[in-house]
Amino acid sequence: MNEEHFKKIISHAKEFGFIFPSSEIYDGLSATYDYGQNGVELKKNIKNYWWQSMVQMNENIVGIDAAIFMHPKTWKASGHIDAFNDPLIDNKDSKKRYRADVLIEEHINKIENKINKEISKGKKRFGDDFNEKEFRNTNPNIKRRNEEIERIEKSMGKAFENDDLNAIYELIIELGIVCPVSGSKNWTEVRQFNLMFKTELGSVSGESSSIFLRPETAQGIFVNYLNVQKTGRKKIPFGIAQIGKAFRNEIIARQFIFRMREFEQMEMQFFIAPGTQEKWYTHWKNERIKWHKALGIPEDFLRFHDHIKLAHYADAACDIEFKFPFGFKELEGIHSRTDFDLKQHEELSKKKLRYFDPEKNESYIPYVIETSIGLDRMFLALFSHSLKDETLDDGTSRTVLSLPYSLAPNKVAVLPLVKKDGLPEKAKEIFNRLKLNFNCIYDEKDSIGKRYRRNDALGTPFCLTIDYETIEDGAVTIRERDTMTQKRIPILELNEYIDSKVNMNVLL
């Protein structure tokens, strides 16, 4: 785990307005995050890249936007009510029920609190000379406690990965975790509980019924597949794409936006004739890896991981894994889902969900290939890969967020050299010429060097400097983020030049 880099990602995301902890003034809400002024733009650009490559570039794929709330039978049909679970444990003395993972996480928090106390003591002792980083690295108590946290996290992660409920129980016993109410260690075994968030529909007491926040967007596509096929006069093979929120009451939610309780998915279901699934599965594996590589992500940061243990509905499945700072982890899933979902919906809804194939002159339930990527995970993948500290030729250093130009939150920063002599007015004029086509930043505060650095850290591809010559020759200095090269360019050519570098077409 590259812990330093991961910490830097989190602090950079906050400092530069990409991601804030949710409801931070109340000390945040675990595994929930808000996207700030720059995060929302980057997220929107990732969505556009995905949407355009799916819907715009494929004449047989269309999009929908289904509701988050769905009829509860949807989740019975999909298997989520019966098999989408997390581990629970009861204390026999207090009769209180806990999430086994939360008990372990709270135990870890206690160790972290001890570390924080040690640091407060250090601060008091050393006053202004206190160096927290050095103290963390050298204090034996802190080192021992950090090792203990790492060991517990590893054991817990392994137990969950192997679905080993007994190992989780044993970890709770080994750590001597007590019930916060009874204070006893008298625990039951660990059992599973459902990951879906449940709420009530209807306000009159006695008339309400339980509904769920959707744990995946896919089911909104399945239940609408015939609506889209008929109204869109679609012939198999065809696809339906959707981007939207999904909710899961996750077990281990300690890796920033990698695993959240509220997140966004970009999913596409491709409806095909039975028997053609192998061909289309391979097709979508190739298409999806190409999509990632077009972003400039190097080969050794991406890999396929084939599922050996297949879910009950799949006849083939793999993940595209990305090398996050904490190792290779799932970024996207590609699943050959057979006709499982549609068959289930047909059975529970008692509605025919068959497609009449005019070429074969027969009706059948289509098979489905699914591509499913987490938008927030894609954000983290891009952000972690792009954030770099560079040492420059003159010995100075800079932090640069080298996002693909088409995805950068802002494309241009317009910077008057000084705040006087008509330069701000000229800069505003240029800003107004460009703002119709690009997200622009206007910045006149601090030295030009500091403004370049700020925009490097934001990932802005181009900085334009408006100087005294601009008034005379109608040209500006354009500086490119990655090469830091500068050249003069006439104002009249700016729109076309910048567009040729930042347009989404460059990726598509």
Query: In angstroms, how far is the first alpha carbon of the chain from the final one?
Result: 33
Q: Which of residues 250 and 499 has its CB atom nearest to ligand GAP in the complex? A: 250
Please, which residue, 320 or 403, has the CB nearer to ligand GAP?
A: 320
Does the footprint of ligand GAP cover residue 267 (CB under 6 A)? yes
Query: Could you tell me which stretch among 53-61, 263-271, 283-291, 296-304 binds ligand GAP (CB under 6 A)?
Result: 263-271
Q: Can you say whether the dihedral through the CA atoms of 325, 328, 329, 332 is positive or negative?
A: positive
User: How many residues form the binding site for ligand GAP (CB under 6 A)?
Assistant: 19
The nearest distance, CB 335 to ligand GAP, in angstroms, is 7
Q: How far is the CB of 218 from ligand GAP (least distance, A)?
A: 4
> Is residue 218 a contact residue for ligand GAP (CB under 6 A)?
yes
Least distance (Å) between residue 60 CB and ligand GAP: 20
Q: How many angstroms separate the CA atoms of 332 and 371, rounded? A: 7
Report, in Å, the least distance between residue 436 CB and ligand GAP: 35
Interacting stretch for ligand GAP, rule CB under 6 A, among 2-10, 176-184, 260-268, 496-504? 260-268
Question: Hey, which residues between 320 and 359 contact ligand GAP (CB under 6 A)?
Answer: 330-333
Structure tokens at 179: 């019930």
From the number of C-beta atoms within 10 Å of its C-beta (0-12, 13-18, 19+), residue 321 rates as middle
Q: How far apart are CA 375 and CA 73, in angstroms?
A: 27
Give the residue from 313, 345, 311, 335 showing the smallest Cα distance to 75: 345
Q: Contact between 86 and ligand GAP (CB under 6 A)?
A: no
3-state secondary structure 276-318: CHHHHHHHHHHHHHHHHHCCCCCHHHEEEEECCCCCCCCCEEE
Of 41, 86, 105, 216, the one binding ligand GAP (CB under 6 A) is 216
Q: Among residues 41 and 332, whose Cβ is nearest to ligand GAP?
A: 332
Minimal distance, residue 331 CB to ligand GAP, in Å: 6
CB of 370 to ligand GAP, least distance (A): 6
260 touching ligand GAP, by CB under 6 A: yes
Q: Tell me if 494 contacts ligand GAP by CB under 6 A.
A: no
Cα dihedral 45/49/50/54 (nearest 10)? 150
Confirm or reject binding of residue 377 to ligand GAP (CB under 6 A): yes
- Decide: 376 and 254 in contact? Cβ < 8 Å: no
Q: How far is CA 25 from CA 14, 21, 256, in A?
A: 14, 9, 18
Q: Does 265 bind ligand GAP (CB under 6 A)?
A: yes
The residue with tokens 């093979």 is 237
The residues in 120-159 that bind ligand GAP, with binding defined as CB under 6 A, are none
Q: Match 């650009």 to its residue by tokens.
A: 45
374 binds ligand GAP (CB under 6 A): yes
**Shortest CB 50 distance to ligand GAP, Å:** 12
Judge residue 356's burial from the number of C-beta atoms within 10 Å of its C-beta, 0-12 exposed, 13-18 middle, 19 or more buried. exposed
* Phi and psi torsions of 128, nearest 5°: -65, -25
Q: Of 265 and 410, which has the nearer Cβ to ligand GAP?
A: 265
* Smallest separation, CB 190 to ligand GAP (Å): 21
Cβ within 8 Å of residue 226, ≥6 positions away: 353, 355
The residue to which tokens 């819907």 are assigned: 55
The residue nearest ligand GAP at its CB is 374
Kindly list the residues in this chain that would bind ligand GAP in the complex (CB under 6 A). Answer: 216, 218, 248, 250, 259-260, 263, 265, 267, 330-333, 370, 372-374, 376-377
